Amino acid sequence: MRNKILVTGGAGFIGSNFVLDWMPLERESIVNLDKLTYAGNLQNLALLEGDHRHIFVRGDIGDTDLVAKLLAEHQPRAIVNFAAESHVDRSIHGPAEFIETNIVGIFILLEATRAYWAGLNEDSKKQFRFLHVSTDEVYGSLSPTDPAFTETKQYEPNSPYSASKAASDHLVRAYHHTYGLPVLTTNCSNNYGPYHFPEKLIPLVIHNALAGKPLPIYGDGQQVRDWLYVKDHAAAIRRVLEVGMVGETYNIGGWNEKPNLDVVHTLCAILDELSPRADGKSYAEQVTYVTDRPGHDRRYAIDATKISRDLGWKPAESFETGIRKTVQWYLDNQEWVKNITSGAYKDWVTKQYQGA
Number of domains, the chain: 1
Q: Which domain holds residue 89?
A: 4-197+229-256+300-319
For the chain, give the mean pLDDT. 93
The active-site residue, picked from 60, 137, 169, 226, is 137
Is 137 tagged catalytic?
yes
- Between 30-44, 70-84, 272-286, the lowest mean confidence (pLDDT) is in 30-44
- List CB contacts of 278: < 8 A, sequence separation 6 or more: none
CA–chain centroid gap for 307, Å, is: 18
User: Does residue 159 lie in a domain region?
Assistant: yes
* Angle, helices 106-118/64-74, rounded to nearest 10 degrees: 40
Mean of pLDDT values over 90-101? 83
CA–chain centroid gap for 38, Å, is: 14
Backbone angles phi, psi at 38, to 5 degrees: -55, -35
Backbone angles phi, psi at 261, to 5 degrees: -65, -40
User: Does residue 292 lie in a domain region?
Assistant: no
The active-site residue, picked from 139, 161, 192, 330, is 161
Is 199 tagged catalytic?
no
User: Does residue 285 lie in a domain region?
Assistant: no
User: Does residue 347 lie in a domain region?
Assistant: no
The active-site residue, picked from 60, 85, 136, 317, is 136
Closest C-alpha to 9, from 84, 100, 74, 99: 84
- Is the predicted pLDDT of residue 346 greater than 70, yes or no? no
Reported as a pLDDT band with limits 50, 70 and 90, residue 355 is very low
User: Does residue 277 lie in a domain region?
Assistant: no
Q: What is the pLDDT of residue 71?
A: 98
User: Does residue 342 lie in a domain region?
Assistant: no
Indicate which CATH number applies to the domain containing 34: 3.40.50.720
Mean of pLDDT values over 244-256? 97
Is 330 tagged catalytic?
no
Mean of pLDDT values over 314-318? 97
- Is the predicted pLDDT of residue 248 greater than 50, yes or no? yes
Alpha helices of the chain — where are they, by DSSP H? Answer: 13-25, 64-74, 88-93, 96-99, 106-118, 122-127, 160-179, 201-210, 230-243, 260-274, 305-311, 319-332, 334-340, 343-352
User: Does residue 283 lie in a domain region?
Assistant: no
Q: Which string of b and e fits 184-202 if b means at least 16 CB within 10 Å?
A: bbbbbbbbbbbbbbbbbbb
Tell me the per-residue pLDDT of 162-219, one tens digit each, with 9 for 90 and over.
999 999 999 999 999 999 999 999 999 999 999 998 878 999 999 999 999 999 999 9
